Structure 1
């Protein structure tokens, strides 16, 4: 069975993407800890700062079990960062939503992520747009 080998540029791109992802996760965890949040809590809060979501949708987006989401939401709710409320479209469904304090915390967290912002600042607007378009294309 023949083995296909990646060309050297593809191998380097794969390694560079891995390094970017690793550094992003490290900085994200550090920024989350600065706000007394775990990485999972920060990610969930970031989602809810955009829009209220049912627990099942949160679990899908975070790629975890709904029972894990319940525990994370419980902890964020106890801190006043998240509140549960009925879904206006279906009162049987509960939505988790960021409170005003939760949205402010999510914004401060986003602003503190220098790793992504600083290297991107070294690219021209056209280069950033090209990078965005290429990443979108890679993700389908």
Structure 2
């Protein structure tokens, strides 16, 4: 049994998503460099700005090896941007948590990302809501 070929519209959508992702990563890396961070370090900071997380959860979320996260957190910790704490739910587990300096840096980094904010500002609230809902469906995070 053969798999049906995607239609031209699907190819166009996939190409557009790829372009958005590439532009986002370029800007994210540029903004991170302004704060003397790598893109990976900036992504860990952004994730920890939401809540402290066990290192394995950071690795799962970023889809990378736990050993990579350990190195990234080591470098962020050396700069005073994150710290390791015992997990209140299981003291055998360490969580990576944002410091005050890390939270300030994450906020400055987020505020300097204009690429996503500028085109989204041209969409109405209803269009942004529809876009969010469609993207959530695509990644399997339906609310």
TM-score normalised according to structure 2 size: 0.92
- 2:47 matched to 1:43? no
- Give unpaired runs (5+ residues) of structure 2: none
What is the deviation of 1:2?
5.0
**Any idea what the Cα deviations from partners look like across 1:64-96, whole Å, max 9, x if unmatched?**
111111111110011000011111221111111
Q: 2 CA distance for matches of 1:91 and 1:121?
A: 44
Q: CA RMSD in A?
A: 1.3
- Give unpaired runs (5+ residues) of structure 1: none
Q: 2 CA distance for matches of 1:115 and 1:102?
A: 22
1:72 matched to which residue of 2?
Answer: 72
- 2:123 matched to 1:135? no
Superposition misfits of 4+ residues, deviation over 4 angstroms: none
- 2:34 matched to 1:34? yes
SS across alignment from 2:80: coil
Q: 2 CA distance for matches of 1:8 and 1:44?
A: 36
Q: 2 CA distance for matches of 1:27 and 1:96?
A: 25
**Any idea what the Cα deviations from partners look like across 1:27-63, whole Å, max 9, x if unmatched?**
1111111111001100111111111111111111111
Q: 2 CA distance for matches of 1:64 and 1:80?
A: 23
Q: 1 CA distance for matches of 2:116 and 2:37?
A: 20
SS across alignment from 1:47: helix
SS across alignment from 1:80: coil
List aligned pairs for 1:41-120, cutoff 5 A. 41-120=41-120
What is the deviation of 1:5?
2.6
TM-score normalised according to structure 1 size: 0.94
SS across alignment from 1:6: coil
